[in-house]
Amino acid sequence: MLPTWWLRAAFARRLSDMYGAEVPAYTTLLQVSAQVNDEVIGKGGDAGRLGGIERVTAERHGAIRVGTPREMRQVAQIFAAFGMRPVGFYDLREAAASSVPVVSTAFRPIDAEELERNPFRVFTSMLTTADRRFFDADLQGRLESFLARRELFPPELLDLAARAEREQGLDEWPAERFLTLAVAAFELSREPVDRAWYAELERISAVAADIGGVAGTHINHLTPRVLDIDELYRRMGERGITMIDRIQGPPRWDGPDVLLRQTSFRALAEPRRFREPDGSVAVGSLRVRFGEVEARGIALTRAGRALYDELAGEPAEVWEQRFPRTERQLAVQERAFFRYEPGGDRPRDDRTPPDDLAGLLDGRWVSARPIVYEDFLPRSAAGIFQSNLSDEGTRDSAAQGAHYDQQWLSGVLERPVHDPFDLYAAQQNSSLRQARQALGLPKDTP
């Protein structure tokens, strides 16, 4: 029996190989990321504070797009076979200045042990066909009819996924078959694209066309993790690869790395076959896939996130005035999440440890290790999407928008969508209770 985590790691590796073969610039991105990571570690960088070099170098996240609740539910079944659960709800319609008619979640492991084994995650977006700001009734009907006729995932793949989830793994032969089918489901389709239909959707949104104008889904990007994203951004430019105009997320500053910084090279023109109105097939090109890279920091609490949102877009000088400058400040101000352990160099005499977190940290009674941010930022995700679009599309802001939220998505998926703050808080609180117990303190924090 090959366990769930093994299947997840194998899936991530095979997707990476497939995407590298289809998008050669992604292979360059991997090479430059590895060089930068090696140099950061060689200069004494402490990668272990945020996951360790083995995890950082193996880490990926992917992104896919689907068109309907049925397709989203099927994706959830496939990823559940890899131990990846839906976490978070992201409304990119509101986060993007351009026309991006999708709502999203991320499928990822949720247990700390599973994240350490392999943290692969896939940001998954679904088209909001009922939103009148983008699609009138006629176009909604035609679009939903088109989507209903296609089959993204063969029944054999879905059956194997359900079996793998139920049995928490697969034997060798069905595992091989499952992985082969799963990777193939996210390859770029070779079916000709109906040029007129694609163009009609593209006038609304390039993202809508990429989802609803083609026969299948595909990996839009795979994202390695790097320890110095600013240096990587510079080196990719030196390699002659056109990057988007900036790095999304928090600024580079002298304080702790928090949340997520990400950037990408621009979507490349890739040859695609088009079916013309007269029935003939011609070769053209589309720009829909790009290479993203990310640098992950410490997960913030709701209070920390509120402060981040206030400072979003502000320069480093403002951050240095208003944001906590040290991990200790983040911890005692309850702005970020940490994993607490009894301090290895804590006092060994008969003194009673203090009952407050600041005293426990200052007296080295406990140590605090940052919890890595495993999720995404709507504004940053929308920024990446926008930066890779050829134009902004159109939307009727006076029309009524359709309501989608986390509860709705849980119903669609027939499984709970986890709140990321709750997951981080559970990790932190469990570790703090254990540390306090080891020190002879009451388990509950004061």
What's the pLDDT score for residue 231?
93
What's the pLDDT score for residue 340?
95
Average pLDDT, the chain: 90
Could you give the percent of the chain with pLDDT greater than 70? Answer: 95
What's the pLDDT score for residue 53?
76
356: nearest Cα among 382, 374, 378, 334? 334
What's the pLDDT score for residue 276?
93
For residues 124 and 72, the answer to whether their CB atoms sit within 8 Å is yes
The residue ranges of the chain whose pLDDT is under 70 are 45-48, 96-97, 345-349, 385-391, 443-446
Distance CA 20, CA 362 (A): 48
List, for residues 385-434, the tens digit of each pLDDT value: 666 666 677 888 888 889 999 999 999 999 999 999 999 999 999 999 99
Type of residue found at 391: D
What's the pLDDT score for residue 281?
92
Please calculate the CA angle 352-358-364 and round it to the nearest 5 degrees.
60
List C-alpha distances in Å: 62 to 87, 163, 357.
14, 24, 37
Q: Roughly what angle, to the nearest 10 degrees, separates helices 155-167 and 172-185?
A: 130
Distance CA 193, CA 272 (A): 8
What's the pLDDT score for residue 55?
81
